Structure 1
């Protein structure tokens, strides 16, 4: 398959596929003319990477997950550990976002939003103390 075909099948743009090749996540064959020739296994890896990235895994996590996917003697505990760590990071980000939302919601409620210059939002943003 050429890059256009594998792009269509994997759902990844050609630019992303080239990047994944550049960083060694996939290694398509090269024809005498220098064009990439993707095998079915490359397409599966690219689809795997697309799904992994859509779940927010880092490139390094994807590299480790791909290595585990290729390793028939892998321990599922190793895969679970990567996924659990990523889940903990997501939960931390959600907690941070909830805190931000609560603070901003409070400030928006407190601001009259009228013609007067007094604005609790600007006052809070300009306050150096926590």
Structure 2
């Protein structure tokens, strides 16, 4: 089981951390990849050197997160919040996935900095509009 099968960084340029979560994360999977996912996420956030950044997370192939997975998702949300996250855009067309991510976010300070989109294209449009309106 490889981290890339469940968590992959698509891009980190232009102050946008675009990543994708895949599959159903069982307890065994979370135990194996959770720490590596958080470490990889933190390294990418740290590469922005304290500058404001956006998160675009593609959840189109992610299943309802388990409680174990939610704990790691919350860690990434909290780290982003503490390190100048502007907004997080979640591409999540499935209602159950949205609910699972909402549950993790409700325990995090990033909850008010979240926006949902139906596609990656829409997510980039949201970032573009936000940047224009807020001069970021």
| TMscore range, shorter length | under 0.3
Structure number with the higher strand fraction is 2
TM-score by length of 1: 0.27
TM-score (norm 2): 0.27
Larger helix proportion, structure 1 or 2? 1
